Amino acid sequence: MTTRIAFQGELGSYSHQACAEARPDHVPVACKTFEEAIEAVKSGAADLAMLPVENSTYGRVADIHSLLPQSGLHIIEEHFVRVRISLMALPGVTLDEVEKVRAHLVLVPQARAFLREHGIRSETAADSAGAAAELAKSGDRRSGVLASALAAEIYGLEVLASDVEDHGHNTTRFLLMSPEIDESERGDHGMLTTFVFEVRNIPAALYKAMGGFATNGVNMTKLESYMKNGSFTATQFYADIEGHPEDPAVARALDELRYFTSYLEILGVYPADARRH
């Protein structure tokens, strides 16, 4: 039976790379939007979805945290992808022939020093992998693309330079989403629990809700707030903590949190990726 994994973007994107690394035996399903990737799993067109949630350079991926609670899916794994940027062109083209490159607007600034050194101008594209696909069809020998090496492989382009990014730390964190939650697994590098909540409308509710994690020694690695339904007063919080809900300290902290919240939903309990540390 064929197992499929959905992602947002074109074949050859960094989301596709995450799928290929985490589930090399799954068939990738490219989707135009995050919503389509989620719906692919809910409809049965895909078994899993790979969604980016944050980047070490650019922070939170817009809108993704508000989509997760409504998705009906659960986090079963995290996966980190080091964003390595390759400059690619048509086969036979040399680096000194390339006059301009196209790439997604977040990739261009990351390779600014390399482009300046080689006198190459840049243009933004909606999608780097999509730009690679377009270049392969164009026959344009004066243009290149900044994208993943996977994109060059898929579209028959030639990598002229690898790792052209200015800094070597750029990493994107992805979450692997499934229709079923699985709390049975235990990871070699620890566990993470992700949840969303809304505090009760009482003074210092958030401060009191967070107190249970501090007093029980539970490390909270992420806490972010965002508006719910466009309201300036209805704020929802997204949190990652280290540990499993069955751990005594985590169980006590969550019990205390429930007392000060009007809504609490666990989105996933999953092993920490070794690269997190």
Going along the chain from its start, the domains and CATH numbers come out as 4-82+170-178 (3.40.190.10), 86-161 (3.40.190.10), 191-270 (3.30.70.260)
Q: pLDDT-derived band of residue 1, with 50, 70 and 90 as boundaries?
A: confident
Q: To which H or E segment does residue 155 belong?
A: helix 149-155
Report pLDDT digits (tens) over 235-274: 789 999 999 999 999 999 999 999 999 899 999 999 999 8
Is the separation of the CB atoms in 192 and 270 below 8 Å?
yes
Longest C-alpha distance within the chain, in Å?
67
Q: What is the pLDDT of residue 59?
A: 78
Q: What is the pLDDT of residue 2?
A: 85
Q: What is the pLDDT of residue 200?
A: 83
Closest CA to 178 of 68, 25, 261, 64: 68
Q: What is the pLDDT of residue 276?
A: 86
* Range scoring the smallest mean pLDDT among 85-99, 151-165, 186-200: 186-200
Q: Is it the case that residue 231 has pLDDT exceeding 80?
A: no
- Judged by phi (left if over 0) then psi (alpha if -120 to 50, else beta), residue 246 lies in alpha
Active site residue 172: yes
This prediction has a pTM of: 0.89
DSSP string covering 27-54? EEEEESSHHHHHHHHHHTS-SEEEEEEE
Q: How far apart are CA 260 and CA 253, in angstroms?
A: 11
Q: pLDDT-derived band of residue 102, with 50, 70 and 90 as boundaries?
A: very high
Q: What is the pLDDT of residue 232?
A: 62
Percent of the chain at pLDDT exceeding 90: 74
Active site residue 2: no
Catalytic residue among 7, 34, 172, 213: 172
> Quick one: how far is CA 120 from the chain centroid?
29
Pairing relationship of beta strands 27-31 and 4-8 according to DSSP bridges: parallel
Number of other CB atoms surrounding residue 175 within 10 Å: 24
Mean pLDDT of 220-245: 83
Number of other CB atoms surrounding residue 26 within 10 Å: 18
Catalytic residue among 34, 114, 174, 213: 174
